[in-house]
Amino acid sequence: MKKMAVVCFTAGLFCLLSASVPGELRVLDIGVIGPDGECPLDELESMIQKRLEWFGLSSEKYTVFKTRRNMLRVAFDSGDQIDGEWFRCIVTGQPNDFAVWRVLDEYDQANYVSPSEVLTYYKHRDTFLAETAPDILGEDHKQVYILDSKPILTAGDLKTIQKIQDSQGQPGIAFITNATGAQKLGDFASGNIGSQVAVTFRNYEFQGCSFPERIVYLATVHAPIQHSGMITGHFSSEQIVQAVVETKLAIRDDLTLPCLIRLTDADIIKK
């Protein structure tokens, strides 16, 4: 097991991790939003450490420490283990609202006024209206769909999720369901061949109700499926990383940051 020396000078806001192999030291400075005492830094520090461990990062590779009032510094000796975008999302991201929905129909966009129309439609029919993200159907074309109000899958039905490359070499997302999710997905797919499904990652709140925000992926069920699924499309690598990390945080129900934070600085130190 490799040993790491950690030397921290909090007054100078500097931390150096010295490892036995060359690499990069990635440093994030995090500020707490809110008045003093609203979020104990010890609690925030503990949650960040818990997240890094959940993603399989060795405790010998990182350090988290206080630099001043309402400020933390997270330093990670990445080597070949992780890049900066993954590190930033793991530390600062929040669990998302991953869900897979049954698409019931298209909706006449001429009548669509968001979000009040969404609420009115939902209260009368117990269904959702959701708009596609800009690059799903083409840059200049969006479509509003009617979704069943009960999702087929949520993050709690997943075992894992990861970044992949599709058959065209483009970045995508693959997920594997747990036993409960496999049962739900199998039951739906076996009775809904030919149906469309939509994937969303975010909800928004309006007048006490929670609604799916943007459809990021549309697919048609062609055969019975149970244990896995794939999400592909016109996604940037950064979008994929954010979606994977925040969904993986959502798979567990105990990884939400205890307070609002802001990233005040990010740096890379070559060793």
Tokens for 22, please give them. Answer: 């060359």
Q: Which residues, other chains included, contact 197 with Cβ-Cβ below 8 Å and sequence gap of 6+?
A: 100, 101, 102, 103, 152, 218, 219, 220, 221
Same domain membership, residue 226 and residue 116: yes
Residue 28 CA from chain centroid, whole number: 19
Instruction: Return the closest-CA partner of residue 101 out of 167, 176, 42, 154.
Output: 154
CATH code at 192? 3.30.1360.200
| Torsions phi, psi for 38 (to 5 deg) | -70, -35
Domain extent at residue 30 = 5-94+256-270
Task: Return the number of other C-beta atoms located less than 10 Å from residue 116's C-beta.
Answer: 10
Q: Which two tokens stand for residue 204?
A: 């928004």
**Do residue 232 and residue 261 come from a single domain?**
no
The reply to whether 11 and 90 lie within a common domain is yes
234 and 175: one domain? yes
When divided into structural domains, the chain yields a total of 2
> Is there a contact between 175 and 256 (Cβ–Cβ < 8 Å)?
no
What's residue 112's pLDDT? Answer: 64
- Which residues are registered as beta bridge partners of 30? 72, 263
Is the domain of 89 the same as that of 109?
no
DSSP letters along 38-60, please? SS-HHHHHHHHHHHHHHTT--GG
Question: Lowest mean pLDDT: which of 13-17, 88-92, 236-240, 248-252?
Answer: 13-17
pLDDT given at position 187 = 92
The pLDDT-based confidence of 3 (bands split at 50, 70, 90) is very low
H helix runs in 62-148, sequence order: 84-92, 116-125
For position 242, what pLDDT does the model report? 92
Question: Looking at the structure, do residues 140 and 68 belong to the same domain, yes or no?
Answer: no
Please provide the DSSP assignment of 160-182 as one string.
Answer: EEEEEE-TTS-EEEEEEE-HHHH
Asked if residues 127 and 149 have their Cβ atoms less than 8 Å apart, the reply is yes
- Co-location of 51 and 29 in the same domain: yes
| Alpha-carbon gap, residue 27 to 56, rounded angstroms | 18
Q: What is the pLDDT of residue 17?
A: 37
User: Span 109-131, mean pLDDT?
Assistant: 73
Radius of gyration of the chain (CA): 21
> Which pair of structure tokens corresponds to residue 141?
């074309």
Average pLDDT over residues 175-184: 94
209 versus 46: the higher-pLDDT residue is 46
Q: Are residues 60 and 149 in the same domain?
A: no
Q: Distance (Å, rounded) from C-alpha 176 to C-alpha 163?
A: 12
Same domain, 103 and 89: no
Quote the percentage of the chain above a pLDDT of 70.
80
Q: Which residues of 50-68 are buried (b: 16+ CB within 10 A; e: fewer)?
A: ebbeebebeeebbbbeebe
CATH code of residue 262: 3.30.70.3400
More confident residue, 101 or 76: 101
67, 118: one domain: no
Based on the fold, state whether residues 239 and 183 are members of the same structural domain.
yes
Q: Based on the fold, state whether residues 136 and 11 are members of the same structural domain.
A: no
